[in-house]
Amino acid sequence: MKKYHYVVIFCCCWVSFVISSQAQQLQKLTQQEAETLFLKQNLELIAQQYNIDIADAAIVQAKLWENPSLSISQINFWSTSSQREGVDEVIPPLFGDFGKNKEFSIELSQFIQIAGQRRKLMKMEKIGKEMSAEEFGEVLRSLKTELRKNIYDLIYLQEYQKTVSSQKEVLNKLIGSYQTQVVSGNVSKSELLRLQSSLLELENELYEVQIEYNELQKTLKVLLNVQPHVVLEIVSDEKEYKNPADISLQDLFLQAENSRPDLKYSQLKTQYYEKSIIHEKSQRAPNLELSVNYDRYGGVWKNFVGFGLNIDLPLINRNQGNIRIARYNKEQSEYLFQQQQNRVQQEVTQAFNNYGSVYDFFLKINNNSLLAEIDSMLDIYTDNLLKRNISMLEYIDFMESYKNSKQTTLSVKKNIGQQFEELQYVVGTDIN
């Protein structure tokens, strides 16, 4: 019976351990640490890398010759006396009793591509590999920017939650104090009701912020490939943003042309179709098939060895349609490349102008000394309300202004970070 009790206790302890291990775990990451984790663990990136391996395998396949073909025919599995009637000579066995009175034919053939078709196909596949690499770069560029922007969103929500929570804590203390004062008859119930109404508004806002915060947690955990029970907290990496006046728009155009994976992909597509035209033209040349044949007692000679050559006659089908398709594809890709170049320049210009606008506002916020002192003013106003130095209306107005000011400050910090990431995204590389 005691053993049974020990087993039950052990099972309960084990279940408790499992449950506690599945409880939410806080994982603090800097922005740089989050990006390092993303590059290491993002499943979409890992899967996308296989396209480069697939392109490598296609190059290997293009190098290979066609397999030789072996055929065995004209085998007689039996022969009757009537079939052998009038035949003076019995077909001897090959070894032992095997092959006696047996006729057969063996042919070995090899298909041979001429006009350098394999070599031309290999050149196409090599460009295909470069295109796969640029496709991977495009996925990396998009996901990295998505990660960075979501990180700025999460930092904003973390700080805004703290702001609203601190207001909520202050209001809870005030409400406790005012409830005592209402009982004593020192303050009116309307003032208490006004504080309670403000508290409800804050709690509702906290709820809405929490919903958005949970959505961001889900997105980031998918990008970083971390377990669902982990709660991410991003520690902001304080950095100075480049002054737009120190950035040349023409330099950004050049950087984008040299760095944008989608632009490189579009250019490689034109090169791919150029190689495709050459390859399709080579298909006009007829392919050869060489063969060697052995025939045992199937003709005039007992053991006949012969050689053969098979060649297509390109009289009707000279691959005209596929050559025209390749030419049209090349011409189409040239226009699309020009369109992509124009789109890239427009995107860079727009992102640069947006960054310039938010940078000016960012400097204005940072240079406002009153905003830097607003946290200390919250305690001062709360103390003055309790001392009846200010009215309830003045206090509520300040609380609203306090929240709006904090929200604006945090929003500007988020926006400048995201606009800078957008600028780096359209340029296709980090701007140093």
- Residue 6 pLDDT level (bands cut at 50, 70, 90): very low
3-state secondary structure at position 248: coil
- Residue 83 pLDDT level (bands cut at 50, 70, 90): low
Does a structural domain hold residue 2? no
> 229 and 291: one domain?
no
For residue 414, the model assigns a pLDDT of: 95
> 329 and 375: one domain?
yes
Mean per-residue pLDDT for 397-426? 94
For residue 301, the model assigns a pLDDT of: 77
For residue 296, the model assigns a pLDDT of: 83
3-state secondary structure at position 306: strand
> 201 and 297: one domain?
no
Does a structural domain hold residue 46? yes
Residue reference for tokens 């066995």: 93
Does a structural domain hold residue 134? yes
More confident site: 387 or 259: 259
- Residue 4 pLDDT level (bands cut at 50, 70, 90): low
> 72 and 156: one domain?
no
Domain end among 263, 296, 318: 318
Q: DSSP per residue over 176-240, as a string?
A: HHHHHHHHHTSS-HHHHHHHHHHHHHHHHHHHHHHHHHHHHHHHHHHHHT--TTEEEEEEP---P
CATH number for the domain spanning 364: value is: 1.20.1600.10
> 117 and 40: one domain?
yes
| Alpha helices by DSSP H, 64-188 | 81-84, 117-184
> 239 and 358: one domain?
yes
Alpha-carbon torsion 363, 369, 370, 376, what sign? Answer: positive
* Distance, CA of 183 to CA of 174 (rounded, Å): 14
Does 76 score more than 80 pLDDT?
no
- Residue 90 pLDDT level (bands cut at 50, 70, 90): low
Q: How many other C-beta atoms can be found within 10 angstroms of the C-beta atom of residue 35?
A: 17
- Residue 233 pLDDT level (bands cut at 50, 70, 90): very high
- 58-62, 72-76, 190-194: range with lowest mean pLDDT: 72-76
The token pair at 94 is 């090959």
- Residue 146 pLDDT level (bands cut at 50, 70, 90): very high
- Residue 355 pLDDT level (bands cut at 50, 70, 90): very high
Q: What is the mean pLDDT of the chain?
A: 88
Beta strands in 238-349 (DSSP E): 288-296, 303-311
Mean per-residue pLDDT for 230-258? 92
Q: DSSP per residue over 30-70, as a string?
A: EHHHHHHHHHHH-HHHHHHHHHHHHHHHHHHHHHPPPPPEE
> 104 and 135: one domain?
no
CB 68 within 8 A of CB 110: yes
> 81 and 228: one domain?
no
> 191 and 236: one domain?
yes
Domain end among 270, 300, 318: 318
> What range defines the domain where residue 353 resides?
22-66+113-284+319-427
> 247 and 386: one domain?
yes
Number of domains in the chain: 2
For residue 88, the model assigns a pLDDT of: 54
Domain end among 295, 318, 341: 318
pLDDT digits (tens, 9 = 90+) for 20-68: 444 679 999 999 999 999 999 999 999 999 999 999 999 999 999 999 9
- Residue 163 pLDDT level (bands cut at 50, 70, 90): very high
Close Cβ partners of 366 (under 8 Å, ≥ 6 residues apart): none
pLDDT digits (tens, 9 = 90+) for 360-384: 999 998 887 777 778 788 889 989 9
Distances, alpha carbon 326 to alpha carbons 91, 126, 131, 278, 280, in Å: 58, 17, 17, 9, 8
* Distance, CA of 60 to CA of 288 (rounded, Å): 22
* Distance, CA of 107 to CA of 73 (rounded, Å): 8
Nearest CA to 226 out of 17, 33, 18 is that of 33
For residue 181, the model assigns a pLDDT of: 86
